[in-house]
Amino acid sequence: MTALKPLVQALEELDAHLYGQDFLLTWDKSAAEIQSVLLVAEALRTLYRQNIRATCFESGLAISNFRDQSTRTRFSFASAANLLGLAVQDLDETKSQIAHGETVRETANMISFLTEIIGIRDDMYLGAGHTYMLEVAAALDDGYANGVLPQRPAIVNLQCDIDHPTQAMADLLWLKEYFGDLAALRGKKLAMTWAYSPSYGKPLSVPQGIIGLLTRFGMHVHLAHPEGYNLIPDVVTRADQQAQASGSTFTHDHDMDAAFDGADIVYPKSWAPYAVMEQRTALLKTGDRTALNELEATCLENNARFKDWECTEARMQRTRGGKALYMHCLPADITGVSCTAGEVAKSVFERYRLETYKEAGAKPFIIAAMMLTSRFKDPAALLAALEQDGVPRTR
Amino acid sequence: MTALKPLVQALEELDAHLYGQDFLLTWDKSAAEIQSVLLVAEALRTLYRQNIRATCFESGLAISNFRDQSTRTRFSFASAANLLGLAVQDLDETKSQIAHGETVRETANMISFLTEIIGIRDDMYLGAGHTYMLEVAAALDDGYANGVLPQRPAIVNLQCDIDHPTQAMADLLWLKEYFGDLAALRGKKLAMTWAYSPSYGKPLSVPQGIIGLLTRFGMHVHLAHPEGYNLIPDVVTRADQQAQASGSTFTHDHDMDAAFDGADIVYPKSWAPYAVMEQRTALLKTGDRTALNELEATCLENNARFKDWECTEARMQRTRGGKALYMHCLPADITGVSCTAGEVAKSVFERYRLETYKEAGAKPFIIAAMMLTSRFKDPAALLAALEQDGVPRTR
Amino acid sequence: MTALKPLVQALEELDAHLYGQDFLLTWDKSAAEIQSVLLVAEALRTLYRQNIRATCFESGLAISNFRDQSTRTRFSFASAANLLGLAVQDLDETKSQIAHGETVRETANMISFLTEIIGIRDDMYLGAGHTYMLEVAAALDDGYANGVLPQRPAIVNLQCDIDHPTQAMADLLWLKEYFGDLAALRGKKLAMTWAYSPSYGKPLSVPQGIIGLLTRFGMHVHLAHPEGYNLIPDVVTRADQQAQASGSTFTHDHDMDAAFDGADIVYPKSWAPYAVMEQRTALLKTGDRTALNELEATCLENNARFKDWECTEARMQRTRGGKALYMHCLPADITGVSCTAGEVAKSVFERYRLETYKEAGAKPFIIAAMMLTSRFKDPAALLAALEQDGVPRTR
Cis link prior to B331 (omega < 30° from 0)? yes
CB pairs under 8 A between A and C: 108
Answer yes or no: do C360 and B110 touch at CB < 8 A: yes
Instruction: Please give the residue of chain A at the shortest CA–CA distance from B72.
Output: A110
Quickly list DSSP for A188-242.
-EEEEE----S-----SHHHHHHHHHHGGGT-EEEEE--TT----HHHHHHHHHH
pLDDT-based confidence at C101, cuts 50/70/90?
A: very low
Check residue B156 and give its pLDDT.
98
Answer yes or no: do B60 and C82 touch at CB < 8 A: yes
CB atoms within 10 A of CB B99: 12
Least confident of A207-211, A310-314, B117-121, C278-282: C278-282
A305, HSE (Cβ side, Cα atoms, 13 Å): 9
- Which one, of A353, A323, A375, A318, lies nearest residue A62 by Cα? A375
**Identity at C69, one-letter amino acid code:** Q
- Chain A positions touching B360 (Cβ under 8 A) are 109-110, 113
Q: Which value, in Å, is the radius of gyration of the alpha carbons in chain B?
A: 21
Check residue A93 and give its pLDDT.
67
How distant is the Cα of B246 from the closest Cα of chain A, in angstroms? Answer: 32
Check residue C282 and give its pLDDT.
86
d(CA B307, CA A33): 55
Report chain C residues touching chain B, CB-CB < 8 A: 48-49, 53-55, 66, 69-72, 74-76, 78-79, 82-83, 85, 87-88, 330-331, 337-339, 354, 357-358, 360-361, 363-364, 391-395
Superfamily covering domain B168-360: Aspartate/ornithine carbamoyltransferase (3.40.50.1370)
Instruction: Please give the residue of chain C at the shortest CA–CA distance from B151.
Output: C49
Domain boundaries, chain B: 5-163+363-389, 168-360
Q: How confident is the prediction along chain B (395 residues), in pLDDT tens digits per residue?
A: 579 999 999 999 999 999 999 999 999 999 999 999 999 999 999 999 999 999 999 999 999 998 777 788 899 999 999 999 999 999 976 655 444 445 889 999 999 999 999 999 998 788 889 999 999 999 999 999 999 999 999 999 999 999 999 999 999 999 999 999 999 999 999 999 999 999 887 899 999 999 999 999 999 999 999 999 999 999 999 999 999 999 999 999 999 999 999 999 999 999 998 888 888 888 888 888 899 899 889 888 989 999 999 999 999 999 999 999 999 999 999 999 989 999 999 999 999 999 999 999 999 999 999 999 999 999 999 999 999 999 999 99
d(CA C36, CA C380): 9
d(CA B149, CA B165): 27
Determine whether domain C5-163+363-389 maps to CATH 3.30.420.40. no
The per-residue pLDDT of chain A, averaged, comes to 94
Q: Quote helix, strand, coil % in chain B, to nearest 5.
A: 50, 15, 35
Quickly list DSSP for C197-258.
-S-----SHHHHHHHHHHGGGT-EEEEE--TT----HHHHHHHHHHHHHTT--EEEES-HHH
Answer yes or no: do B143 and C83 touch at CB < 8 A: no
d(CA C272, CA C279): 11
Answer yes or no: do C393 and B60 touch at CB < 8 A: yes
Best probe of the C interface among A76, A79, A365, by most C CBs < 10 A, is A79
List the strands of the sheet with A325-326, edge to edge: A250-253, A220-224, A189-193, A265-268, A325-326
- Chain B positions touching C83 (Cβ under 8 A) are 59, 114
Answer yes or no: do B96 and C69 touch at CB < 8 A: yes
Check residue B70 and give its pLDDT.
79
Check residue C184 and give its pLDDT.
97
The CATH architecture assigned to A167-360 reads 3-Layer(aba) Sandwich (3.40)
Select the residue of A78, A339, A354 nearest C61 (Cβ to Cβ).
A78
Cis link prior to A392 (omega < 30° from 0)? no
Helix or strand (DSSP H, E) at B357: helix B346-361
DSSP helix/strand/coil, A374: helix
- Chain C positions touching A394 (Cβ under 8 A) are 56-58, 60, 116, 375-376
Answer yes or no: do C107 and A394 touch at CB < 8 A: no
Least confident of C95-99, C168-172, C260-264: C95-99
How distant is the Cα of B49 from the closest Cα of chain A, in angstroms? Answer: 7
Answer yes or no: same fold for B5-163+363-389 and B168-360: yes
Burial of A55 (C-beta count, 10 Å sphere; 0-12/13-18/19+): middle
DSSP helix/strand/coil, B169: helix
Answer yes or no: do C357 and B106 touch at CB < 8 A: yes
How distant is the Cα of A95 from the closest Cα of chain B, in angstroms? Answer: 6
Instruction: Please give the residue of chain C at the shortest CA–CA distance from B382.
Output: C395
The 10s digit of each residue's pLDDT in A9-52 is: 999 999 999 999 999 999 999 999 999 999 999 999 999 999 99
The 10s digit of each residue's pLDDT in C329-383 is: 999 999 999 899 999 999 999 999 999 999 999 999 999 999 999 999 999 999 9
- In sequence order, the β-bridge partners of residue A265 are A190, A325
Query: Under a CB-based contact definition with an 8 Å cutoff, are residues A143 and A149 in contact?
Result: yes
Chain B neighbours (≥3 Cβ pairs under 8 A) are A, C
Report chain B residues touching chain C, CB-CB < 8 A: 56-61, 63, 87, 89, 91, 95-98, 100-103, 106-107, 109-111, 113-116, 143, 146-150, 375-376, 382, 385-386
Number of H helices, E strands in chain C: 15, 9
Check residue C330 and give its pLDDT.
94
Select the residue of C71, C360, C361 nearest B97 (Cβ to Cβ).
C71
Answer yes or no: do B61 and C82 touch at CB < 8 A: yes
pTM for the model: 0.97
Answer yes or no: do B75 and A58 touch at CB < 8 A: no
- Supply the ipTM of this predicted assembly: 0.95
- Chain A positions touching C98 (Cβ under 8 A) are 71
Chain A neighbours (≥3 Cβ pairs under 8 A) are B, C
CB pairs under 8 A between B and C: 108
The 10s digit of each residue's pLDDT in B270-328 is: 999 888 888 888 888 888 889 989 988 988 898 999 999 999 999 999 999 999 999 99
d(CA C379, CA C374): 9
